[in-house]
């Protein structure tokens, strides 16, 4: 999955908004809004822990990955950069 980082994703907001269709197909199912931790490994072999959760959004859900700021800063990503996410099961 390729994500084009927005200004808020690359900023200090601390979360990355995930496309709902992709989150519901490729990520583990979650029933509680607090979600679950995901171990992520970047292309350099560094490991990161993000919190995969959802935020209620009207009658739907908005999926986010929280705690991404240190990873984004480490990679020096900015708005407009593309972030590739490979989900391995």
Domain boundaries in the chain? 2-84
Each of the 89 residues of the chain gets a pLDDT tens digit; together they read 666 777 776 676 778 888 899 889 888 999 998 999 988 888 888 889 999 999 988 889 999 989 888 888 888 888 887 766 655 54
Return the CATH number of the domain spanning residue range 2-84.
2.40.330.10
Q: Report residue 22 as tokens.
A: 């992709």
Q: What are phi and psi of 30, to 5 degrees?
A: -130, 140
Q: Identify the bridge partners of residue 2 per DSSP, sorted by sequence position.
A: 84
How high is the pLDDT of residue 42? 81
CA-based end-to-end distance of the chain: 14
In whole angstroms, give the CA distance from residue 16 to residue 59. 21
How high is the pLDDT of residue 5? 75
Q: Is the pTM of this model over 0.85?
A: no
Query: Contact, 84 vs 6, CB < 8 A?
Result: no
DSSP state for residue 76 in the 8-state scheme? T
How high is the pLDDT of residue 18? 87
How high is the pLDDT of residue 79? 80
């Amino acid at each position: 999955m390729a994500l084009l980082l927005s200004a808020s994703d690359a900023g200090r907001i601390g979360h990355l908004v995930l496309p709902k269709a992709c989150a519901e197909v490729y990520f583990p199912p979650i029933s509680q809004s607090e979600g679950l931790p995901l171990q992520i490994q970047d292309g350099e072999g560094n490991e990161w822990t993000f919190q995969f959760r959802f935020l209620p959004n009207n009658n739907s859900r908005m999926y986010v990955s929280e705690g991404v700021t240190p990873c984004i800063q480490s990679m020096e990503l900015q708005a407009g950069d593309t972030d590739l996410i490979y989900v391995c099961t």
